[in-house]
A and B are shown apart, each in its own frame.
Chain A
Amino acid sequence: AQSVSQHNHHVILSEAASLELGCNYSYGGTVNLFWYVQYPGQHLQLLLKYFSGDPLVKGIKGFEAEFIKSKFSFNLRKPSVQWSDTAEYFCAVTASGSARQLTFGSGTQLTVLP
C-alpha cells in the first residue's frame, strides 16, 4: 500500500517569502499525485495534480509542484506567498489499480504573517 509523508507540520512565513512544502510518497509503481488546500473552516480544494507528462505542474493561485520520480517527491512551491495563503495543505496519492483510494499525508499548516 502507498503512503505519504509531509515532514513540515507547521510552516510560518512572512508575506512575499518563497514557499516550498515537502511531500514524499512510498510506492514502487505508477502514481497520481495531488495537492489539496483547506482554508480555515472550509472544504478541501484541489490545488494541482500530476498524472503524467511534464513533471512540473502549475495549479491555481500561483502554486506549482515538481514530480521527481527518483526521489519519490512532489514538492509544492510558490515564489511569493500572501496572507490569504494561510491554510492547511495536504499532499495525496493514488496508485495504479487503486485509483479510488486517495492516501493523504498528515498535512502542513502554513501561516503567513502580514
Chain B
Amino acid sequence: DTEVTQTPKHLVMGMTNKKSLKCEQHMGHRAMYWYKQKAKKPPELMFVYSYEKLSINESVPSRFSPECPNSSLLNLHLHALQPEDSALYLCASSQERTYGNTIYFGEGSWLTVV
C-alpha cells in the first residue's frame, strides 16, 4: 500500500467551482509533487515542492494553484477548470537527494470537470 494518501478519490466539479485536492505523506520526505495523468498516457509533471518551497512549475495554467502548508501536506487548488482538465491527479513524494531518489506515488484523485 502506498504511504502517500490523497483525498478525495473522486471529484466531479463544474467549470465555475472552486475545489481542492489534498495529499499527505508521513515518510519524512522533503520533496512533493503533483502529476497529471490522462488515460493510457504517462504521468506529466506539474509542480515540485522542495522543503515547502515551489521549485518546479512546468508551465501549468494558473487555474491550478499548488500549496504546501508544511512538509507533510500538499494541496492543489482548482478554479475555473475546463473539461479537458479531467484526468487522474497524482501526488508523489521523495527524499531530497541529488542522486538516488525514489519517487513514491499516491493512489490519485480522479477529477471530472463538467
Contacts and interface: CB of A to CB of B under 8 A. Distances in A.
Interface size class of A (residues with CB under 8 A): 20 to 34
B104 A46 contact: yes
A102 interface: yes
Contacts of A52: 100
Given A88-B40, A105-B42, A106-B42, A99 B98 contact: yes
Contacts of B43: 44, 90, 104
A100 B55 contact: yes
Interface size class of B (residues with CB under 8 A): 20 to 34
B48 A100 contact: yes
Interface in A67-114: 88, 90, 92, 94, 96-97, 99-102, 104-107, 109
Given A43-B106, A51-B100, A107-B40, A102 B2 contact: no
Contacts, number: 63
Nearest to B31: A100
The prevalent SS among residues of A at the interface is strand
The prevalent SS among residues of B at the interface is loop
B34 interface: no
A80 B31 CA distance: 37
Nearest to B107: A43
Contact of A96 (B33, B50, B98, B103): B98
A106 B55 CA distance: 25
Interface in B78-108: 90, 94, 96-108
10 A-B pairs with the lowest CB-CB distances in the bound complex, closest first: A104-B42, A43-B107, A99-B101, A44-B105, A51-B100, A43-B108, A100-B48, A102-B103, A43-B105, A107-B42
